[in-house]
Amino acid sequence: MIVQAAGRRDRIGAKYGMWLFLFTEILFFGGMFLLYSVYRSEYPVEFHASAAEENLLLGSINTAVLLTSSLFIAVAISAVKKGSYRLSIIFQVATILMGLAFLGIKSVEWSEKITRGIYPNSPVLDKMKMGDILFFGLYYVMTGIHGIHVFIGICVISSMVYFTLTGNITKENFSKIENTGLYWHFVDIVWIYLFPLFYLIT
Amino acid sequence: MILGPSNVAGKIETSFLIITAACVALLVAVTITMLVFIYKYNRRRNPVPEDIEENLPLEVVWTVLPTLLVLGMFYFGWVDFDYIRNPPKDAMPIDVIARQWSWTFRYQDGRQTDTLRVPVGKPVKLVLTSEDVIHSLFIPAYRIKEDCVPGLKTHLWFNADQTGTFDIFCTEYCGLEHSHMRAKLIAMPAADFERWYETKEEAKRANKGLELLTTKGCLGCHTIDGSPKVGPTFKGLFGSTVTVTTNGKERTVTADEEYVERSVRNPGADVVKGYPNIMPRLPVTDEELKEIVDYLETLK
Amino acid sequence: MTLNATESQDHISSYRTYFFIWAALMLLLVATIAVAKVEVSRYSVLLNLFIATVKAGLVLFFFMHLKYENWFLKGVLFMVLVMLAIVIGLTFSDVWYR
Amino acid sequence: MENTASEYESFYHGKGKYKGILSWLMSTDHKRIGIQYLVALLTFFSVGVLLGLLIRLSLIAPGKFIGQETYNRVFSVHGIIMIFLFIIPGVPVAFGNFFLPILIGARDVAFPRLNRFTWWIYLAGATLVVFSLFAAGGAPDTGWTFYAPYSIRAKANITLAVTGVFVLGFSSILTGINFVTTIHRLRAPGMTWFKLPLFVWTLYATGWVQLLATPVLAITLVFIILGRVFGVGFFDPSKGGDPILYEHLFWTYSHPAVYIMVLPAMGIISEVIPVFARKKIFGYKAVAFSAIGIASVGYFVWGHHMFTSGMSDTARIIFSFITFLVAVPSGIKIFNWVSTLYKGSIVGSAPIYFALTFIFLFSIGGLTGLIIGSLEPNLQLHGTYFIVAHFHYVMFGGAGFAILTALHYWFPKMFGRMYPERPAKIGWFILFIGFNLLYFSMFILGYEGMPRRYFDYPPRYFPLHLVSTIGSWILAIGLAIIAGNLLRALFKGPKAPADPWGGRTLEWTIPSPPPTENFAETPVIRD
Ligand code: HEA
Ligand code: HEA
Ligand code: CUA
Ligand SMILES: [Cu+2]
Q: Which amino acid is at C33?
A: I
Residues 6+ apart with CB under 8 A from B215: B104, B112, B113, B114
> Does C49 sit within 8 Å of A193, measured CB to CB?
yes
pLDDT at A133 over 80: yes
**Who's near D191: CB < 8 A, 6+ residues apart?**
A1, D104, D105, D525
**Position D508 pLDDT exceeds 50:** yes
Cβ neighbours for D235, distance < 8 A, ≥ 6 positions apart: D148, D149, D152, D223, D227, D241, D242, D243, D245, D246
| Residue to substitute from D228, D230, D299, D300, interface A, most A β-carbons within 10 A | D230
| B82-86, B197-201, C86-90, D47-51: least confidently modelled range | B197-201
Between D114 and B237, where is the model more confident? D114
Does the beta carbon of B170 lie inside 6 Å of ligand 3?
Answer: yes
DSSP string, D236-256: -GGGT--HHHHHHHHHHHHHH
The reply to whether residue A34 touches residue D173, judged by beta carbons under 8 angstroms, is no
The CATH H-level (homologous superfamily) assignment of domain B92-199 is Cupredoxins -  blue copper proteins (2.60.40.420)
Domain segments of chain A as ranges: 2-199
What residue ranges define each of the domains in chain D, with the CATH number in brackets?
A: 5-509 (1.20.210.10)
Please answer whether residues B299 and B224 qualify as being in contact, where contact means their C-beta atoms are separated by less than 8 angstroms. Answer: yes
Stretch A169-190: mean pLDDT, rounded?
89
Q: Do D374 and B134 touch (CB under 8 A)?
A: no
Kindly report the CATH class assigned to B204-297.
mainly alpha
**In the prediction, which pLDDT does D476 show?**
92
Q: Are D34 and D27 in contact (CB under 8 A)?
A: no
Helices (H), D231-344: 243-277, 284-297, 313-341
Q: Do D354 and D399 meet the contact criterion of CB atoms below 8 Å apart? A: no
DSSP state, D64? Answer: -
Per-residue confidence (pLDDT) for residue B47, from 0 to 100: 83
- Ligand 2 centroid to D256 CA: how many Å? 21
pLDDT beyond 70 at A4: no
Residue B272 Cα distances to B239, C74, D136, D446, angstroms:
15, 64, 20, 39
CATH fold of A2-199: Four Helix Bundle (Hemerythrin (Met), subunit A) (1.20.120)
Average confidence (pLDDT) over C67-81: 88
Mean pLDDT of D438-459: 92
What's the CA dihedral at D180, D181, D184, D185 to 10 degrees?
-160
pLDDT at res. A1: 35
Q: Tell me what pLDDT residue D493 has.
A: 87
pLDDT value at A105 more than 50: yes
pLDDT less than 50: residues of chain B: 1, 202
Of C1, C90, C95, the CB nearest to D300: C90
Residues of chain C found within 8 Å of residue D250, distances taken between Cβ atoms: none
Q: Residue D223: pLDDT above 80?
A: yes
The Cα–Cα gap between D233 and D152 comes to 9
Q: Is the pLDDT of residue D82 over 50?
A: yes
Cross-strand pairs, B186: B117, B165
What is the rounded distance in angstroms from the CA atom of residue A195 to the CA atom of residue C51? 11
- Helices and strands (H, E) in chain A, number of each type: 7, 0
Closest B-chain CA to D454: B179
Asked if D359 contacts B34 with a C-beta cutoff of 8 angstroms, the reply is: yes
Q: Which residues of C touch D321 (CB under 8 A)?
A: none
C10 confidence band (pLDDT: 50, 70, 90): low
Chain-chain contact of A27 with D185 (C-beta, under 8 angstroms): no
Parallel/antiparallel/unpaired status of strands B135-139 and B144-148:
antiparallel
> What pLDDT score was predicted for residue A2?
39
Task: Compute the average pLDDT of residues C76-91.
Answer: 93
Across A150-168, b (16+ Cβ under 10 Å) vs e yields beebbeebeebbebbeeee
Give the confidence band of D482 by pLDDT, cuts at 50, 70, 90: very high
DSSP string, D197-210: -HHHHHHHHHHHHH
Distance CA A17, CA A175 (A): 11
Ligand 2 centroid, distance to B143 Cα (angstroms): 27
* Cα(D121)–Cα(D127) distance, integer angstroms: 10
Comparing CA positions, the residue from B232, B242, B246 lying closest to residue B275 is B232
Q: Decide whether any atom of ligand 2 lies within 6 Å of the D80 Cβ.
A: no
Residue D21: how many CA atoms within 13 Å on its side-chain side?
Answer: 0
What lines the ligand 1 site, CB under 6 Å? B 26, 30, 66, 69-70; D 145, 258, 261-262, 304-305, 307, 323, 326-328, 330-331, 334, 363, 366-367, 369-370, 372-373, 378, 382, 387, 390-391, 394-395, 398-399
pLDDT value, residue D69: 83
Query: Pairing between strand B183-188 and B116-119?
Result: parallel
pLDDT of residue A28: 94
Task: Please check whether residue A50 is in contact with residue A132, taking contact to mean a CB–CB distance below 8 angstroms.
Answer: yes
Strand B270-272 versus strand B249-254 pairing type: unpaired
Q: Which of D208, D311, D313, D325 to substitute to test the interface with C, most C CBs within 10 Å? A: D311
Partner chains of A (3+ C-beta pairs under 8 Å): C, D
Q: For CATH 1.10.287.90, list the domain ranges present in chain B.
A: 7-85
Specify which residues B135 forms β-bridges with: B148
Given a contact cutoff of 8 angstroms between Cβ atoms, the answer to whether B68 and D361 are in contact is no
Average pLDDT score over residue span D62-85: 86
Residue A144 CB-half CA count within 13 A: 17
CATH 1.10.287.90, domain B7-85, yes or no? yes
Torsions phi, psi for B106 (to 5 deg):
-115, 125
Distance from C-alpha of D255 to C-alpha of D278, rounded to nearest angstrom = 35
Give the distance from CA D198 to its chain's centroid: 17
Q: Give the Cα separation of B271 and B97 in Å (integer).
A: 27
Q: Is residue D294 a contact partner of residue D213, using CB atoms and an 8 Å limit?
A: no
Question: Is B175 near ligand 3, meaning CB less than 6 Å away?
Answer: no
Nearest CA to ligand 2 atom 24: D79
Question: What is the interface pTM, i.e. ipTM, of the complex?
Answer: 0.89
> How far is the C-alpha of B186 from the C-alpha of B161, rounded, in Å?
12
C-beta of residue C77 within 8 angstroms of C-beta of residue C64: no
CB D320, CB D375: distance < 8 Å = yes
